Amino acid sequence: MSDTSPNPPKSHGRLSIRTTLQPRDLLASRPPVRGAWQARVITLFPDAFPGVLGLSLTGKALDTGRWRLETTDLRPFGLGKHRNVDDTPAGGGAGMVLRADVVDAALRDAMAGAPTDRQKWPLVYLSPRGKRFDQATARRWAAADGVTLLCGRFEGVDQRVLDHWQIEEVSLGDFVMTGGEIAAQAMLDATVRLLPGVVGNSESLDEESHSSGLLEHPQYTRPPEWEGREIPPVLLSGNHAEIEKWRRTQAEELTRERRPDMWDAFKNR
């Protein structure tokens, strides 16, 4: 990132040392950590971050430098007195479209220093028409050096800039939101927790829903009886083989009942 950009990116988490004429955000003024996984987010609402990502395990990992978060405010790249970032759709229609030239300028700033290899650094537009985000996507992003997320607004982004930058389109689900910021936080949460050392017990990652292609089995804890409902006896038997068998059966039944699409994919893999 360049300190000569219209609005230097706001960073969270530990940073590598570099010379700057701009004052550091207090959240970013921590001892340097090099090589941390990075998330860069282009948004009209940079104050929305880190949001929930600053809490719990992801927040602790951010604070200790296991990953780094930078936001690039799209507005300063806007044109004219009012820093306009959008215009009316070509061909007519309702709403506004983010301009290609504005988004391009923001991308050039946000992608500075990032690998050009999209396997090492995915570049993503959060779009309801994109491929649905899933656990495999989270794993792929976590295995990269970092990811840049472009948060859409209004009716979307000029297709020319998406084609020019070969931007991957990803959707949180089959519904429409007012912008990509909430989706970005959800996707980053799913990704960051896969980074080494973020979740204390790495074995729990292997047993979660979607990790094996099945939904997770039911979970229980003390007290052994509550409101007349008991923990299934097999879970208290100490027979680990039978416990594993029970959990597998439960996972298969839940997946078949609740997610027939997942069940079909699991059977046919």
pLDDT in tens, the chain (269 residues): 444 556 667 777 754 444 444 443 434 544 547 789 999 999 999 999 999 999 999 999 999 999 999 999 999 999 999 999 999 999 999 999 999 999 999 999 999 999 999 999 999 999 999 999 999 999 999 999 999 999 999 899 999 999 999 999 999 999 999 999 999 999 999 999 999 999 976 555 555 555 679 999 999 999 999 999 999 999 999 999 999 999 999 999 999 999 999 999 999 98
What is the rounded distance in angstroms from the CA atom of residue 266 to the CA atom of residue 269? 5
What is the rounded distance in angstroms from the CA atom of residue 13 to the CA atom of residue 30? 7
What is the rounded distance in angstroms from the CA atom of residue 198 to the CA atom of residue 62? 9
pLDDT for position 200: 77
Which residue is associated with the tokens 């820093």? 83
CATH number assigned to the domain with residue range 10-192, chosen from the 4 options 3.40.1280.10, 1.50.10.10, 3.40.630.30, 3.40.50.720: 3.40.1280.10
What are the residue ranges spanned by the domains of the chain? 10-192, 209-268
pLDDT for position 7: 66
pLDDT for position 32: 45
* 209-268: CATH class: mainly alpha
pLDDT for position 166: 97
Please give the biggest Cα pair distance in the chain: 72
Q: Do domains 10-192 and 209-268 have the same CATH topology?
A: no
pLDDT for position 27: 45
Least Cα distance to 157 among 110, 109, 105, 89 occurs for 89
pLDDT for position 202: 58
Cα-Cα end-to-end distance for the chain: 43
Q: Output the pTM of the full model.
A: 0.84
